[in-house]
Chains A and B, each alone.
Chain A
Amino acid sequence: MPTLTYRDALNQALREEMQRDAYVFLMGEEVGVYQGAYKVSRGLLEEFGPTRVVDTPIAELGFAGIGVGAAMAGLRPVIEFMTWNFAVLALDQIVNSAAKLLYESGGQFPIPIVFRGPNGAALQLGAQHSQAWESWLSHIPGLKVVAPATPADAKGLLKSAIRDNNPVIVLEGEMLYNTKGEVPEGEYVVPIGRADVKRAGRDVTLICHSKTVAVALKAAEQLAEQEGVSAEVVDLRSLRPLDEAAITASVAKTNRAVVVEEGWPHCGIGAQVVDVIQREAFDHLDAPVLRVTQADVPMPYNRQLERLAKPSPDKVVAAARRVLYLD
């Protein structure tokens, strides 16, 4: 299997889907001539021309709305936001138009659109540019939300997202674009709504998605080395719909769980996961479920404070020790 970066895996997905379906087009700030702020659209303008790779002004609400209109007219737009922090300006189109038109038109207008871009904190970008938006977006009926952690999942999920007839949010990561991983050759997709066990284990389940998958895998290594604990790492991959069966099956096996996410604790993705666990796996629980999240503060700019505010392998190990009653 070839090894690719996350950025090139996304690039492959876009190219393959644009080759496959002439109705697919890409639109956003700097996606054409500059080939993307993070070079995800490298070579696409050259191959598909300016009618299918469209540079826009700095006007998120405007080009998100054009995308929704194009989808109503039968095209399959992929809207790139330079970051999800800027997409806040387009929430009216995402939440009020894209998510609701199928419902409000009595089924007459499916909106097959993809909104994608990097989500969550990178390094020292400050409070306004370091936010994780998944709990906001996953809250909305009518949207699907995926958050791939690996190049293979990024390619497979972006392809599924483009082919889906509903609005799909694809949450990428600035710190993920350069990460490498094996990507299967040839045609393949990853279905939306399926979690993936990234590491099998017996004693405790670490539930994570996107950038926190790497955090959880590192914590699992530490737990194995330092404590002899066998941790299972479950990558949610899709946040809406959520793979409740996979969560339940893993907790039924290990009897304990720690949920890790980049977002803030209050009303976070982890709160939803804990709801699933208490409802579906109550009789399997040997300890209350714990969560590791960003500290409940705007992201600090100071490098050390930022590091302390983020979820880390050490915090996950500490939480795992508590649910295992090792402290």
Chain B
Amino acid sequence: MAAKVFMEALSPTMEEGRLVKWHKQEGDAVKVGETLAEVETDKAVMDLIARADGVLRQVAVTDGQTVPVGSVVAVIAAPGEDVSSPVTTPAAVTSVSGKRETGNVGLATTAAPVAVSPAQVVSGADATHVKASPLAKRMAKEAGVDLKLVTGSGPGGRVVRRDLETAGRVEKGEVRSVAASAAVQRSEPLPSPVSPVAARSGGAYEDVPLTQIRKTIAKRLATSLGPIPHFFLTTEVDMERAAEARDALNRQLGDRGKVSFNDIIVKATALALTKHRACNAWFQEDHIRYWNEVHLGMAVAVEDGLITPVIRNADLKPLLEIGQEAKQLADKARSRRLQPSEYTGATFSVSNLGMFDIDQFTAVINPPEAGIIAVGSIAPKPVVWDGQVVPRRRMRITMSCDHRVIDGATGAAFLRTLKEMLENPLAMLL
């Protein structure tokens, strides 16, 4: 019995995936657990694994093509098995996401047809949740039908069995036609995502389709600064003693490693959160989840976007371990090899642009977390110290708070503890 190979949900928020490259070709023998292809999710490039033994047949998606989660991308059959019954054609959402469209002023007539965007296919404001009966969900999964493409006839638009049975034929027709039109416009697929930073091409502008990660960033951040009532608290921290502590530690460590300012900030933030649980929380619509564990998200810039890998139980880890883990996670993030478990579940986040010589900035909260701190550069400044104007290394941190969870005084109290710990690193031992 032939087994269908589906585009699987390889991250918690993945709705579609781009098939970067097939590792197996049509006719190749495959075994359970072998990598069939690389798939770019909304966060990373992951392996699509064979779930049956047999021969790869009916490869329905080409390198570079993007299809919704649940689409059939191939079939694994026994050698010589008749698989003539057609595989459901996947709905190609965008033909080739890496494809660029270049526009020239005055040459509008040559504009290329626009690829079908998900927004045209998905109806309703909340595209991530589809109301469907458990049975309908199971049937859709088995048939490789995207439930978002099915109109529900049950209460509140719930998709029920009859919708898949009666609309099944119609739906498959639609899906096929979308795929067909997408196939016509497919040309010169690029094998890997490209930086949106365009080289000068001669045109007045350049349209670059959104990569998966940019789409996710767009969607996630639009659920933050718009709906979440942000407010911001800024404080300036004297970093002289932190700098002294860091230098002393690094002298002692020698070749065994280095402690960075960022490690100290991460550690201090985690410890301050243990004393201010009110800031270590998730807003969950009908309740607030106050976390007893501290998992710190750490914003990392990657080519074409950013991602926040998570340092788990950061309050419990020694500085050196935080430093090593932060580096490993950042490296993995930049090579897009982070596993979903490594970038989800943060209870609070830190964003540091100090290395870019930014004095101060505000960061956008990563929901459902209730707060994030934005860290500026450490620079010498003239300050009044014991009645004298002296140069001292100073740093500005700005906390963004979700006012539904954190009130002004609550956030200020947390920030004061953090400031105390950074200005007197020994306070971290208390």
Do A and B form a real pair?
Answer: yes
Question: Could you tell me if A283 and B153 are in contact, using CB atoms closer than 8 angstroms?
Answer: no
Alpha-carbon gap, A286 to B137, bound state (A): 9
Alpha-carbon gap, A283 to B137, bound state (A): 8
Interface hit among B154-162, B173-181, B413-421? B154-162
A287 an interface residue at 8 Å Cβ cutoff? Answer: yes
A287 neighbours in B (Cβ, 8 Å)? 133, 154, 160
Question: Could you tell me if A284 and B135 are in contact, using CB atoms closer than 8 angstroms?
Answer: yes
Given A255-B161, A325-B162, do A285 and B154 touch, yes or no (CB 8 Å)? no
Question: Could you tell me if B138 and A286 are in contact, using CB atoms closer than 8 angstroms?
Answer: no
B154 neighbours in A (Cβ, 8 Å)? 287, 325
B134 neighbours in A (Cβ, 8 Å)? 282-286
Q: Given B135, B137, B160, which contacts A325 in the complex, CB threshold below 8 Å?
A: B160
Contact with A along B152-191 (1 / 0, CB 8 A): 0111000011100000000000000000000000000000
B7 neighbours in A (Cβ, 8 Å)? none
Given A287-B154, A325-B153, do A255 and B162 touch, yes or no (CB 8 Å)? no
Question: Could you tell me if B153 and A285 are in contact, using CB atoms closer than 8 angstroms?
Answer: no
B136 neighbours in A (Cβ, 8 Å)? 286
Question: Could you tell me if A283 and B160 are in contact, using CB atoms closer than 8 angstroms?
Answer: no
In chain A, what residue has the closest Cβ to B138? A283
A257 shortest CB reach to chain B, Å: 12
Q: Given B135, B161, B162, which contacts A283 in the complex, CB threshold below 8 Å?
A: B135
Tell me the number of A-to-B contacts counted with CB atoms below 8 Å.
27
B153 neighbours in A (Cβ, 8 Å)? 325
B160 neighbours in A (Cβ, 8 Å)? 286-287, 325
Alpha-carbon gap, A287 to B135, bound state (A): 9
List CB contacts (< 8 Å) of B137-156 with chain A: 137-138, 153-155
In chain A, what residue has the closest Cβ to B154? A325
B137 neighbours in A (Cβ, 8 Å)? 283
A278 shortest CB reach to chain B, Å: 9
Alpha-carbon gap, A286 to B160, bound state (A): 6
B414 shortest CB reach to chain A, Å: 42
Alpha-carbon gap, A284 to B162, bound state (A): 14
A73 shortest CB reach to chain B, Å: 53
Alpha-carbon gap, A291 to B161, bound state (A): 21
In chain A, what residue has the closest Cβ to B160? A286
- Taking residues whose C-beta sits less than 8 angstroms from the other chain, chain A's interface range is under 10
Alpha-carbon gap, A285 to B154, bound state (A): 13
A284 neighbours in B (Cβ, 8 Å)? 134-135, 138
In chain A, what residue has the closest Cβ to B161? A286
A324 shortest CB reach to chain B, Å: 9
A280 shortest CB reach to chain B, Å: 12
Alpha-carbon gap, A64 to B161, bound state (A): 52
Which of A282, A283, A286, A287 has most B Cβ within 10 Å?
A: A286
Alpha-carbon gap, A277 to B161, bound state (A): 18
A247 shortest CB reach to chain B, Å: 16
In chain B, what residue has the closest Cβ to A327? B155
Alpha-carbon gap, A287 to B160, bound state (A): 8
Q: Given B135, B155, B162, which contacts A285 in the complex, CB threshold below 8 Å?
A: B135
Contact with B along A284-298 (1 / 0, CB 8 A): 111100000000000
Alpha-carbon gap, A47 to B161, bound state (A): 60
B156 shortest CB reach to chain A, Å: 12
B349 shortest CB reach to chain A, Å: 36
List CB contacts (< 8 Å) of A252-293 with chain B: 255, 282-287
Contact with B along A49-64 (1 / 0, CB 8 A): 0000000000000000
A282 neighbours in B (Cβ, 8 Å)? 134
A241 shortest CB reach to chain B, Å: 26
B138 neighbours in A (Cβ, 8 Å)? 283-284
List CB contacts (< 8 Å) of B105-123 with chain A: none
Contact with B along A141-178 (1 / 0, CB 8 A): 00000000000000000000000000000000000000
A230 shortest CB reach to chain B, Å: 15
A283 neighbours in B (Cβ, 8 Å)? 134-135, 137-138
Alpha-carbon gap, A287 to B136, bound state (A): 10
In chain A, what residue has the closest Cβ to B132? A286
B158 shortest CB reach to chain A, Å: 9
Alpha-carbon gap, A286 to B134, bound state (A): 6
A93 shortest CB reach to chain B, Å: 45
A232 shortest CB reach to chain B, Å: 16
Alpha-carbon gap, A291 to B160, bound state (A): 20
Alpha-carbon gap, A255 to B134, bound state (A): 10
Alpha-carbon gap, A280 to B166, bound state (A): 27
Alpha-carbon gap, A287 to B132, bound state (A): 9
Which of B135, B137, B155, B162 has most A Cβ within 10 Å?
A: B135
Alpha-carbon gap, A286 to B162, bound state (A): 9
B10 shortest CB reach to chain A, Å: 22
B132 shortest CB reach to chain A, Å: 10
In chain B, what residue has the closest Cβ to A255? B135
Alpha-carbon gap, A284 to B137, bound state (A): 10
B120 shortest CB reach to chain A, Å: 28
B70 shortest CB reach to chain A, Å: 16
Which of B138, B154, B160 has most A Cβ within 10 Å?
A: B160
A285 neighbours in B (Cβ, 8 Å)? 133-135
Alpha-carbon gap, A194 to B79, bound state (A): 46
List CB contacts (< 8 Å) of A307-327 with chain B: 325
A202 shortest CB reach to chain B, Å: 12
In chain A, what residue has the closest Cβ to B153? A325
A286 shortest CB reach to chain B, Å: 4
Contact with A along B333-359 (1 / 0, CB 8 A): 000000000000000000000000000
A258 shortest CB reach to chain B, Å: 16
Alpha-carbon gap, A284 to B142, bound state (A): 13
B133 neighbours in A (Cβ, 8 Å)? 285-287
In chain A, what residue has the closest Cβ to B141? A283
Alpha-carbon gap, A285 to B137, bound state (A): 10
Q: Could you show 5 A-B contacts with beta carbons less than 8 Å apart?
A: A282-B134, A283-B135, A284-B134, A284-B135, A286-B160
The 8 nearest A-B residue pairs measured at CB: A286-B135, A286-B133, A286-B161, A283-B138, A285-B134, A283-B134, A282-B134, A255-B135
A: residues with CB less than 8 A from B are 255, 282-287, 325
- Kindly list 5 other residue pairs between chains A and B, CB separation below 8 angstroms, not including A284-B138, A286-B134: A283-B137, A283-B138, A325-B153, A325-B154, A325-B155
